[in-house]
Amino acid sequence: METRFSPRPQVSHVVFDFDGTLSWLRHGWPEMMAGLFLGHLPACPANALSEFHALILEDILSLNGKSSIYQMERCARRVLEHGGPRLDPQKVLLEYQAALGKAIRDRIEKLQRGQAAQDEFAVHGARALLEKLRSRGLVLIILSGTLEPQVKQEADLLDLARFFGAHIYGGTADLLQSSKQTVIERLLREEKIPGDRLLAFGDGPVEIQVTKAVGGLAVGVASDEDFNGSGKMHPQKLQQLRQAGADVLIPDYREPDMLIECLLGR
């Protein structure tokens, strides 16, 4: 755990991103997305391919928390800059959604058949942390860039929805009105709280930046995309979350009591 802040016992509302922060149903998505663009790069030496891979992975994770179309547009531009064809971001997005959708369906079927436990697809320690935060009377909120019906369905499937009640917000056709900045600003107005009473957890720089901009406390969850509960921080996530200004950096929620005491000071 990395920390650089003072505890905030006044926190009353806690916002969680969903994918990679609470849910592990989409684990591996950054490499899946990157792979779609690597295939369009002209023939090149292995070291050049490796450099391009690192570049677009950084781009993808830098936009984590926004609608996926932004990642498609950025990566399509990178392919063109490196001598590849002009790609239609919307078409690549559909291809990505189909591939990711299949992976998610396979994982959901395992859950429904009893071949996997719910906690296998929840970020390590998440349920224990949510229990402890709820027991303190804090208002818990999910705020995701994933389409809202999917977020609600998957949160219910993982037995996480019960912690959040009506406070589950996802992406809609209106990208501006469902952006994390817009929703957080609206929440602060509707709940009539100042920004310093907000605590947010996220594995992407967007939610960290938005939280810091309103004066909130931000926890960067650099969750491992390959092994849930490894205790290792994803290196690219770690770098970007640190640069985004996260007050705390963690790999998962393996020590919920210590984490809560660190954040709230009580």
What pLDDT was estimated at residue 175?
59
Q: What is the 3-state secondary structure (H, E, C) of the chain?
A: CEECCCCCCCCCEEEECCECCCECCCCCHHHHHHHHHHCCCCCCCHHHHHHHHHHHHHHHHHCECECHHHHHHHHHHHHHHCCCCCCCHHHHHHHHHHHHHHHHHHHHHHHHCCCCCHHHHECCCHHHHHHHHHHCCCEEEEEEEEEHHHHHHHHHHCCCHHHCCCCEEEECCCCCCCCHHHHHHHHHHHHCCCHHHEEEEECCHHHHHHHHHCCCEEEEECCCCCCCCCCCCCHHHHHHHHHHCCCEEECCCCCHHHHHHHHHCC
Residue 169, domain extent: 2-24+122-264
Cα dist. 132→66, 105, 258 in Å? 29, 30, 11
pLDDT of 176 higher than 70: no
Whether pLDDT at 193 is above 70: yes
In DSSP terms, 200 is beta-bridged to 15, 218
Supply the pLDDT for residue 48: 87
Q: Are 138 and 201 in contact (CB under 8 A)?
A: no
> Phi-psi region for residue 78, left (φ > 0), alpha (ψ -120 to 50) or beta?
alpha
Whether the predicted pLDDT of 250 surpasses 90: yes
Q: Mean pLDDT lowest for which of 22-31, 137-146, 166-175, 219-228?
A: 166-175
Mean pLDDT in residue range 253-261: 95
Task: Note whether residue 117 is domain-resident.
Answer: no
Domain CATH number, residue 192: 3.40.50.1000
Same domain, 130 and 42: no
Tell me how far apart the alpha carbons of residues 151 and 87 are, in angstroms, rounded to a whole number.
Answer: 29
**Residue 251 pLDDT greater than 90, yes or no:** yes
Q: Which residue in 27, 20, 56 sits closest to 41, CA to CA?
A: 56
The whole-number pLDDT of residue 216 equals 96
| pTM for the whole structure | 0.88
What are the tens digits of pLDDT across the range 18-33? 999 999 999 999 999 9
Q: How many CA atoms lie within 13 A of 92 on its CB side?
A: 25
Q: Do 82 and 181 share a domain, yes or no?
A: no
**Could you report the per-residue pLDDT of 50-108, keeping only the tens digit for each?**
999 999 999 999 888 778 899 999 999 999 999 999 999 999 999 999 999 999 999 99
**pLDDT exceeds 70 at position 177:** no
Q: What's the pLDDT at 179?
A: 80
Q: How confident is the model at residue 229, as a pLDDT?
A: 94
Q: Are residues 138 and 99 in the same domain?
A: no
Q: Is residue 56 part of a domain?
A: yes
Same structural domain for residues 172 and 237?
A: yes
Same domain, 33 and 79: yes
Domain count for the chain, please give it. Answer: 2
- Looking at every residue in the chain, the average pLDDT score rounds to 92
Residue of 11, 30, 9, 8 lying closest to 19 (CA atoms):
30
Which pLDDT belongs to residue 75? 96
Among residues of the chain, what percentage have pLDDT more than 70? 96
> In the predicted model, is pLDDT for residue 49 greater than 80?
yes
Q: Are residues 131 and 190 in the same domain?
A: yes
The reply to whether 235 falls in a domain is yes
Q: Are 69 and 142 in the same domain?
A: no
Mean pLDDT of 137-147: 92
**Percent of the chain whose pLDDT exceeds 90:** 80
145 and 90 assigned to the same domain:
no
Task: Specify whether 138 is located in the same domain as 94.
Answer: no
The whole-number pLDDT of residue 147 equals 85
- 79 and 136 housed in the same domain: no
pLDDT at 266 over 70: yes
Q: Specify whether 20 is located in the same domain as 41.
A: no
Asked whether residue 225 falls in the same domain as residue 185, the answer is yes
pLDDT at residue 4 tops 80: no
- 146 pLDDT exceeds 70? yes
